Structure 1
Amino acid sequence: MEDEDLVFTAALYASTRAEELAPIPWPAETKQAFLLQQHAAQHAHYQQHYRGMDAMIVERGGAAIGRLYLYEMPTEIRIVDISLTPQARGQGIGAALLRDLFAEIAPRGKNVTIHVEKNNPARTLYARLGFTILDDDRGAYDLWQWRPAA
């Protein structure tokens, strides 16, 4: 990811919040301004709390379709963010990205963790791939974990 990718990641972020904001009776310009502010705050948070994270843009055929941010710790890899454009969702791309991650880090014996909103439809994907809830007392999020086979 490069600084010029922030325009794409802002639009991607907005797409992940569209359903949530749909019933709110704000004008489109107000929603857009809110989403830009929220994306900037999220980006700043990630930069502050996950220094050195591996921020990657997911591409298909040379076109950006998502993002994957990873942060390595001594015993785990934290998925800071994984998201795909609406057109790329539901096609197995997220599962393929995660399986590739598992294959890469399993020989190193590291776990994979991710915070997932309690109402995120991707929870079924994470469960299907072998993630389990490690901590469900984190407000709107649960901490999920995948462990390599012994």
Structure 2
Amino acid sequence: MPVFRIDRPGTTLRPLTDADQPFLLHLYGTTREAELQATGWTDEQKAQFVRMQFDAQQRAYFAYPDAEFFVIEQDGIPAGRIYLQHRREALLIIDISLVPEQCGSGIGSAVISAVFAQACASGKRVQIHVERFNPAQRLYQRMGFRLVEDKGVYLFLEWDGAARQAATV
């Protein structure tokens, strides 16, 4: 397993464990809150929907070959998750999510920068799919991701810092 050195005090990655499932379910629920507010569903219906969708998402994500699953911690407290797939020519960020109170704090950019460093060390690109309406898209653009393909609801982005770095040497 590669070591991801994160250049931000108190921010670390650790491998996911079964004990993280309640946190991950809560985190997933926060990513769907705005959407669920418009449904008119009861809290119980919302909770059932979130559980069903979370379980389906986890099954899909854990089916990725050559993937690693991390909890992002800030000062020892779970703050998010990052799931990565090691492809031959790229690191795919399968998912990166932070709890709402940590968004905009610099954790996401620090973790992505650590992924960039790992990609550069292995001569790879970094790829990510982002929903068109996701505000994190601005962060990805600022960090140098470029649009590769518009897939309708999702945009497929890529960062190729390793190639840019090699071109300047």
Which TM-score applies when normalising by structure 2? 0.85
The question of whether the paired residues in 1 share the 8 Å contact of 2:129 and 2:154 is answered with yes
Give the number of the structure with larger relative contact order, counting CA–CA contacts within 8 Å between residues 6 or more apart: 2
Instruction: Give CA deviations for 1:107-127 in whole Å, capped at 9, x if unaligned.
Output: 322000001000000110000
The residue type equivalent to 1:14 in the other structure is G
Structure 2 residue aligned with 1:46: 61
The residue type equivalent to 1:132 in the other structure is R
Structure 2 residue aligned with 1:146: 159
Q: Using the alignment, how far apart are the partners of 2:66 and 2:120 within structure 1? A: 21
Q: Using the alignment, how far apart are the partners of 2:89 and 2:65 within structure 1? A: 17
Match of 2:149 among 135, 147, 150: 135
Match of 1:114 among 128, 135, 152: 128
- Counterparts of 1:52-67 in structure 2 under 5 Å? 52-67=66-81
The question of whether the paired residues in 1 share the 8 Å contact of 2:92 and 2:128 is answered with yes
SS in 1 for 2:66: coil
Q: What displacement does 1:39 show?
A: 0.3
Q: Using the alignment, how far apart are the partners of 1:96 and 1:47 within structure 2? A: 24
The residue type equivalent to 2:83 in the other structure is Y
Structure 2 residue aligned with 1:2: 17
Which sections of structure 1, spanning at least 5 residues, go unmatched? none
Match of 2:112 among 98, 101, 104: 98
* Runs of at least 4 residues off by over 4 Å: none
State the Cα RMSD in Å: 0.9
SS in 1 for 2:65: coil
% same residue: 39
2:27 is equivalent to residue 17 of structure 1: no
The residue type equivalent to 1:113 in the other structure is Q
Q: Using the alignment, how far apart are the partners of 1:2 and 1:100 within structure 2? A: 21
Q: Using the alignment, how far apart are the partners of 2:152 and 2:119 within structure 1? A: 29
The question of whether the paired residues in 1 share the 8 Å contact of 2:90 and 2:119 is answered with no
SS in 2 for 1:109: coil
2:138 is equivalent to residue 87 of structure 1: no
Farther-moved stretch of structure 1 (2-11 vs 100-109): 100-109
Which TM-score applies when normalising by structure 1? 0.95
Aligned pair count? 148
Q: Using the alignment, how far apart are the partners of 2:60 and 2:54 within structure 1? A: 10
